[in-house]
Amino acid sequence: MKPKIPERSGASVQVVNNKTPKRISILRYILPVAVITLLLLVWHFVCFFHVFPAYALPSPGDVFKSFKEEIISGRLVTDIIASLWRVAVGFGISVILGIPVGLWLGQHLFARLSFLPVLNFFRFLSPLAWIPFAILWFHIGDKPAIFLVIMATCFPLMLATMTAVATIPSIYFRVAQDYNYKGFELVTRVTLPAVLPQVITSLRVSYGIAWVVIVAAEMVGCQDGLGYGIWIARNGLRLDSAVCYMIIIGLLGMGIDRLLNQLTKLPNIRWGYDR
């Protein structure tokens, strides 16, 4: 057994196994690139041998050309900004609403008993079911899309926060009582920090839902955005353009998830992942 020596720099904590970390970090890049190259090759050959008709499956070259067109015309950039804005607003409202309500539910048994069935019902209701209402209530534009993102993410966030509160070791509340933390102070200094690691995990999950929903929402309720881009491409049978939107959607989703993942590296969050 190695003696347990406390880490002086937080960095070395992250090395989990001893298998020459450097080699693994190189492989971390090489292996995915190899897989992507392989997929592109398969794609290329499927097109080359006309497994599908050209209009039904654009070749990598077509998609690349369409990328250039979309960027030059500026349409891609405006669509990206529109989608990011809607997700940011909708997701932001969900966070502002969902986390406090989740904390409240977690701490009050009767609130939990009263609201849990309703919340669970809405969680399992596909947000896309709200599309007709969204359009009737908010017409066309940013609002219906934002509404759908909220409907998709608010309930899971609430429930995850609530469950996280239930798992806080009771010893923390004993200590809080010993040191006279009460009311609002108790929530901000004990309850919230104690659940943050779990809340951040659920932020990542529900952000994933938001990103999926925005594409569907924009197909019906908007005049721009990445989802609308795909819809237009479909109507014009420009699948090369649709694929280039799909690639952007996937890449942006991954990128923002990476950003959210950075939150787990904050020093007062890290403890929740190191145990």
Partner 1 sequence: MIDNHSAKKLVMDHVSHGYGELAVLQNLNLEVSPGEFVVLVGPSGCGKSTLLNLLSGYIKPLSGLVHREGLIRTVYQQDSLFPWLTVAENISMGLIQNKNTAAREQELRKLFELIHLVDFKDHYPHQLSGGMRQRVELARVLAGDSDILLMDEPFSALDYQARLRMRRELIRLLKERPRTVVFVTHDIEEAAQLADRVLVLSNRPASVCRELKINSPRPRDPADEEVVQAMKVILSELGLQA
What are the residues binding partner 1 (CB under 8 A)? Answer: 4, 6-7, 10, 13, 169, 171-172, 174-175, 177-180, 190, 193-194, 196, 267-272, 274-275
Nearer of residues 151 and 190 to partner 1, judged by Cβ: 190
Q: How far is the CB of 179 from partner 1 (least distance, A)?
A: 5
Nearer of residues 199 and 220 to partner 1, judged by Cβ: 199
Nearer of residues 17 and 178 to partner 1, judged by Cβ: 178
139 backbone φψ class: left, alpha, beta (φ>0; ψ -120 to 50): left
Q: Is the sign of the CA dihedral 86, 87, 92, 98 positive or negative?
A: positive
Tokens 């923002």 sit on residue: 256
**Pairwise CA distance, residues 236 & 82, whole Å:** 21
Nearer of residues 10 and 250 to partner 1, judged by Cβ: 10
Q: How far is the CB of 102 from partner 1 (least distance, A)?
A: 18
**Pairwise CA distance, residues 200 & 203, whole Å:** 5
Token representation of residue 122: 């809405």
Q: Mark 194-220 as b/e (b = at least 16 C-beta within 10 Å).
A: bbbbbbbbbbbebbebbbebbbbbbbb
**Pairwise CA distance, residues 149 & 58, whole Å:** 31
Q: How far is the CB of 183 from partner 1 (least distance, A)?
A: 15
Nearer of residues 7 and 166 to partner 1, judged by Cβ: 7
170-to-14, 180, 181, 184 alpha-carbon distances in Å = 29, 15, 14, 18
61, 246 contact by CB (below 8 A): no
Give alpha helix (H) positions in 108-180: 109-124, 131-138, 142-166, 170-178
Nearer of residues 134 and 199 to partner 1, judged by Cβ: 199
Q: How far is the CB of 189 from partner 1 (least distance, A)?
A: 8
Nearer of residues 114 and 167 to partner 1, judged by Cβ: 167
Q: Mark 2-30 as b/e (b = at least 16 C-beta within 10 Å).
A: eeeeeeeeeeeeeeeeeeeeeeeeeeeee
Nearer of residues 7 and 26 to partner 1, judged by Cβ: 7
Tokens 């900004």 sit on residue: 81
Q: How far is the CB of 3 from partner 1 (least distance, A)?
A: 9
Q: How far is the CB of 156 from partner 1 (least distance, A)?
A: 23
DSSP classification of residue 6: P
